[in-house]
Amino acid sequence: MALISCQTDEPDSAYKEIEFTNEELLAATYSDYKHPENFYTEHPGDTTLYYTNTISTDSLEDKWIELSTNSSETAERWSKKSSYSNSTLGPLRETERYFEFFQNVTPAGTGIIKFRTHRHTYFTRGDLDFLVPSGALGSFNKKNFTGEDAKELIDYLWYVRHYNNASSKILSSFVEDRFLFIVVTHYELHISFGDWDLHDQITLLKKEYSINRASKLITVNETEIRTINGKLN
């Protein structure tokens, strides 16, 4: 998909694509386009990604807080608590971002769930409750992180939350170093598919994710740029 790019002498991943025509919004909406080439991606196929949390590990908990640890044993215990009783625990996979265990759901052929737990040395949600939205996302704990590291984190967090959501797409993603903060900007489409005899509503959003270099705290500021009509249903 062709998008307007305000190119600079910065690296490719820093190209600031900030202007989009209505035709481009429509083209992105009604195609298999999901995000730009310089964006974090995985290939989950029919696999479901699930991050262990306070509710999945404790049925009496009323706050939804994603968990983090530096212990693979703790991550395994939380994954078992979060899994179905008729699931088989697969082998551990580790990255700098998470611990992951496959859950082979029975009967055979009904799918695979990847249970993940954030690695504390990379990212933590703290006490941020998903059921009570706020302007904070958590803390980026990677040592001596760069702007590219910050962009990869924010792109990753968006991807694992929206990879199977047809109503959300990223048009551009770039990073800026503002001395005390590193700011990652997303231009995002949010699509509300209409009912019979109603137009789909396509909204262009600008989201700025600011990471405080000192405190490591991540906050987000969202601006609605415009909404246009899509197809009539």
Q: What is the pTM of this model?
A: 0.89
Per-residue pLDDT, 109: 57
Structure tokens at 140: 């980026």
Q: Where are the alpha helices (DSSP H) in 141-221?
A: 147-162
AA letter at 129: D
Sign of CA dihedral 52, 124, 178, 38: negative
Element (H, E) at 186: strand 181-192
Q: Are 149 and 166 in contact (CB under 8 A)?
A: no
Per-residue pLDDT, 226: 97
Per-residue pLDDT, 14: 39
Q: Tell me the domain boundaries of the chain.
A: 12-232
| pLDDT tens digits in sequence order for the chain, 233 residues long | 444 433 333 333 335 778 999 999 999 999 999 999 989 999 887 789 999 999 999 988 899 999 999 999 999 999 999 987 656 788 899 999 999 998 876 555 567 889 999 999 999 999 999 999 889 999 999 999 999 999 999 999 999 999 999 999 999 999 999 989 999 999 999 999 988 989 999 999 999 999 999 999 999 999 999 999 999 98
Q: What is the DSSP string of 65-103?
A: -B-EES-HHHHHHHHHHHS-TTEEEEEEEE-SSEEEEEE
Per-residue pLDDT, 112: 83
How many Cβ atoms from other residues are within 10 Å of residue 106's Cβ? Answer: 11
